[in-house]
Amino acid sequence: MPSVPLEKVLEFMQVLWALDHALQERSKAMAARIGVTSPQRLALRIIHSQPGISSGEVADKLFLDPSTLTGVLQRLESRGLLTRKKDKQDQRRSLLHTTAAGDALLGEAEHTVEAVVREALESEKGKAVRKASAVLEHITARLKGAPAPQKNGKRARPGRRPPRHG
């Protein structure tokens, strides 16, 4: 017999759906205001923080299949926000860098998802944030088919794939 009543599960799911909807809406508003969606900006932020990163490594950090990330990167490149340079050691691999325009766009903080999240995190205590993150990671991992956490409290991180080399 489940220990959490169905009503509580449904209430929590409503909060998750509301969060997902709010993220999608803010992402659309970002696209209209600053020209990039939230996933595009996050990819750009990762590339900016790790110049020369490969698209496979960005995909791993975003928990995306590389083919899903391809469209995001193509849109950023076509807008002049990032460049791809062939890896001198492996010509099959491209290394990503932000451009001056991409760097400038990252300076724009108003109206972004990350600004809202930063504000919310700053208003919470660290323990509450860690606990909320743990619950969301657990749900994500279970939705992706990971085994339930062990009794010793260890849990799988959501969507982790083995690192790709190449």
Q: Model pTM?
A: 0.78
* Phi and psi angles of residue 96, each rounded to the nearest 5 degrees, phi first: -105, 145
Say how far apart CA 147 and CA 156 lie, in whole Å: 8
Say how far apart CA 28 and CA 20 lie, in whole Å: 13
- Minimal CA–CA distance to 13: which of 145, 113, 139? 139
The alpha helices in the chain, defined as continuous H runs, are 6-34, 38-49, 55-62, 66-78, 100-107, 113-122, 126-143
Q: Hey, what are 142's tokens?
A: 């279970």
Is pLDDT of 158 > 60? no
Mean pLDDT value across the chain: 87
Q: Give how far the C-alpha of residue 130 lies from the chain's centroid of Cα atoms, to the nearest Å.
A: 17
Question: What is the predicted pLDDT for the residue at 163?
Answer: 45
Handedness of CA 110, 114, 117, 119 (dihedral sign): negative
Tell me if 74 sits within 8 A of 35, measured CB to CB. Answer: no
pLDDT tens per residue, range 109-142 = 888 999 999 999 999 998 999 999 999 999 989 9
List of domains in the chain: 6-123 (1.10.10.10), 124-159 (no CATH)
pLDDT tens per residue, range 72-114 = 999 999 999 999 998 888 888 889 999 999 999 998 788 899 9
Is pLDDT of 35 > 70? yes
